[in-house]
């Protein structure tokens, strides 16, 4: 008869082995946190959707850090991928067209903004998508968090799908993602009693509330609540962020995630 002590030790060893095995298989949708073999195995098992989050490094008024779009795009993409259940998230693209630098225009008039030409941006997106197609991903999804380059993404998607016509790969840019974060979210805020001159189009109440819901450490709350009304010279376009809150931001986050997930499930059904 086996001694109870040996039985206890055997059970302990099995539990430790199971924990080690589990630790070697991370539960993450972030591509950059996986090894190449883990990525290969996930693709073979049916994880054939890759989301490419596109942010931008730009000014967002004196109260929000310049990496706003980058953090938000990755955070939202991660939530969307987790909901989909068959998707991974690529590293965020942080270098995007933001205006000219000779002379400085648009957001380039403010320190910290980084810009690249449209053709370079489009070629970068195309190269990233082709890389993923080579490795077995069949649904390549672009989620752009900034309005200025939406037409660039649409051109890339059209070109890729023409090039990939004889393959299984397809590119997508669901309009629901940006629509829900801009006009759709503005409509939600209007229903809660906020005016357009508060909501704004850049660095106003809508933009700042979304950021408070995603990454509150990037918002300078002390300055936000004590400063006078900001304007174009401060980098705030048509809005007033002083009544921003994480609670309001979560209304927008929920809409962005749910509408984008629904659109992607419809677009990729049966693929």
Going from the first residue of the chain to its last (271 residues), give the mean pLDDT of each consecutive group of 10, the final group possibly shorter: 60 57 72 98 97 98 97 98 97 97 94 97 98 98 96 98 98 98 97 97 97 98 88 95 97 98 92 63
The count of domains in the chain is 1
CATH number at residue 210: 3.40.50.10310
pLDDT at 269: 86
d(CA 219, CA 62): 9
d(CA 58, CA 68): 8
Look at residue 3 and tell me if it is in a domain: no
pTM for this entry: 0.89
Look at residue 86 and tell me if it is in a domain: yes
- The count of other CB atoms within 10 Å of the CB of residue 133 is 21
d(CA 14, CA 18): 6
d(CA 194, CA 153): 31
Q: Which residues pair with 30 in a beta bridge?
A: 89
Look at residue 9 and tell me if it is in a domain: no
pLDDT at 231: 94
d(CA 186, CA 131): 36
Look at residue 21 and tell me if it is in a domain: no
Structural domain including 124 reads: 28-268
């Amino acid at each position: 008869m086996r001694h109870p002590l040996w039985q206890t030790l055997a059970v302990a060893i099995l539990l430790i082995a199971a924990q080690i095995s589990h630790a070697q298989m991370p539960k993450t949708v972030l591509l950059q946190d996986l090894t190449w073999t883990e990525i290969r195995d996930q693709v073979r098992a049916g994880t054939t959707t890759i989301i490419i989050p596109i942010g931008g490094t730009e000014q967002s008024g004196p109260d929000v850090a310049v990496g706003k779009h980058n953090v938000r795009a990755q955070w939202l993409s991660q939530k969307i991928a987790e909901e989909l259940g068959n998707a991974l998230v690529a590293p965020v693209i942080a270098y995007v067209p933001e205006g000219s630098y000779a002379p400085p225009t648009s957001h380039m008039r403010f320190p910290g903004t980084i810009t690249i030409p449209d053709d370079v941006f489009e070629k970068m997106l195309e190269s990233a998508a082709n890389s993923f197609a080579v490795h077995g991903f069949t649904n390549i999804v672009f989620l752009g968090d900034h309005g200025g380059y939406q037409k660039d993404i649409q051109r890339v998607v059209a070109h890729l799908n023409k090039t990939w016509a004889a393959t299984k790969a397809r590119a997508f840019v669901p309009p629901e993602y940006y629509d829900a974060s801009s006009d759709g979210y503005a409509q939600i805020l209007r229903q809660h009693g906020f005016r357009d001159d508060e909501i704004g189009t850049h660095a106003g109440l809508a933009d700042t509330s979304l950021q408070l819901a995603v990454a509150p450490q990037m918002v300078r709350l002390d300055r936000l609540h004590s400063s006078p009304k900001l304007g174009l010279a401060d980098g705030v376009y048509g809005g007033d962020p002083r009544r921003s809150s994480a609670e309001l931001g979560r209304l927008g986050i929920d809409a962005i995630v749910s509408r984008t997930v629904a659109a992607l499930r419809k677009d990729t059904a049966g693929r």
